[in-house]
Amino acid sequence: MLALLSLMQSRPAWTGSELAERLGVSARTIRYDVDRLRELGYPVDAARGPAGHYRLGAGARLPPLLLDDEEAVAVAIGLRAGSGVAGIEESSARALTKLEQVLPHRLRRQVAAVNDALSQGPENTGSNVADPVVDASVLTTLAAAIRDHEQVRFGYRGRSDTAPPLAVEPYRLVNWQRHWYLVGRDPASGWHPYRVDWMSLRMRTGRRFAPAVLPGGDYTAFVLREVASAGWSVHARITVLAPAADVLARINPTVGVVESVDDSTCVLVTGADSPEMIAVYIGMLGLDFHVTSPPELVEHLRVLGERYRRAVAAT
């Protein structure tokens, strides 16, 4: 029966003959064991006819999961690696403890060997700004709204305290660069990526909507493109003294928009969560540039320039 339960958890549907062949028993034994599983509280659905099959249905409580060796080791290691979502640390630790308690000795040694052999570095070494942390309940609420085609209402950072909440049709959650984004459509202003850590959800609206089609159809590409101009805490328009083609050849086109001015000049529209990070990006271009805003970026470049000048003078 445990082997039968394991098979039924491994894929959506099985015919009786497939189960009998895999387990080396008769079709009658399969029917008998299915009835016993039902008596134990496992909801096994059966469809009759030429396309008949057995399917493990959704129950009132979570049944024991039967994992093969590779799956068990992968889950145990993966539970230690999640980050960027608040509220699941304690539940992850509990799940890991339960799993490690029932692992066979040989698998427990494998998991211990991997954990002992690895050291985890800092999650974010590419920014001087702490990674945003998103509440798990916010993600699950948004995911349910996406599934049910239900409009969501939320306050958003940067808007006036007296401004009414945004009412948006949610379509997809995208995780990129340690940030979570909701791709949504505001009926009044169109499609936008919204940073989830900037959102404060209001009560459910109960309003359903007929899904529209995102132009281009690629949610991830849409987020990468739009974030470059609107999704960061700090935005900048940088005049680069080089042709647009030269700049495009040196950057990832999804994290900056390049506007050609003439044959020898272009404008790079980009952003980050701090002026220091923008300074790093544009310094890595290896091209001359001119910046007039935002003021905090101009000031940081001035300080940085003096620091580098002093470093050279000291040698």
CATH of the domain at 39: 1.10.10.10
Same-domain pairing of 190 and 211: yes
Same-domain pairing of 152 and 90: no
Same-domain pairing of 148 and 184: yes
Same-domain pairing of 155 and 222: yes
Structural domain includes residue 64: no
Helix residue ranges, H only, the chain: 2-10, 16-23, 27-39, 69-79, 89-102, 105-117, 136-148, 219-230, 244-248, 275-283, 295-314
Provide the token pair at 66. 């039967």
Same-domain pairing of 246 and 303: yes
Structural domain includes residue 93: yes
Q: How far apart are CA 297 and CA 218, in angstroms?
A: 32
Phi, psi of 147, rounded to the nearest 5 degrees: -60, -40
Structural domain includes residue 129: no
Structural domain includes residue 79: yes
Q: How far apart are CA 271 and CA 44, in angstroms?
A: 53
Q: What angle do CA 237, 242, 244 make, to 5 degrees?
A: 70
Same-domain pairing of 46 and 101: no
Nearest Cα residue to 119 out of 80, 92, 82, 86: 80
Same-domain pairing of 109 and 161: no
Structural domain includes residue 122: no
Residue type, 196: V
Q: How far apart are CA 198 and CA 260, in angstroms?
A: 32
Same-domain pairing of 223 and 236: no
Same-domain pairing of 224 and 140: yes
SS3 48: coil
Structural domain includes residue 182: yes
Structural domain includes residue 126: no
Residue that finishes a domain, picked among 208, 228, 248: 228
Provide the token pair at 180. 């979570």
Q: DSSP of 191-210, one letter per residue? A: EEEEEGGGEEE-S----B-P
Same-domain pairing of 204 and 244: no
Provide the token pair at 99. 């799993």
pLDDT at 60: 47
Structural domain includes residue 200: yes
Q: What is the CA radius of gyration of the chain?
A: 27
pLDDT-flagged residues of the chain (< 50): 60, 125
Neighbours of 235 (CB within 10 A): 17
The parent domain of residue 246 ranges over 232-314
pLDDT at 217: 87
Same-domain pairing of 35 and 73: no
- The four Cα atoms 229, 233, 238, 243 give a dihedral, to 10 degrees, of -40
Same-domain pairing of 161 and 77: no
Q: Domain total for the chain? A: 4
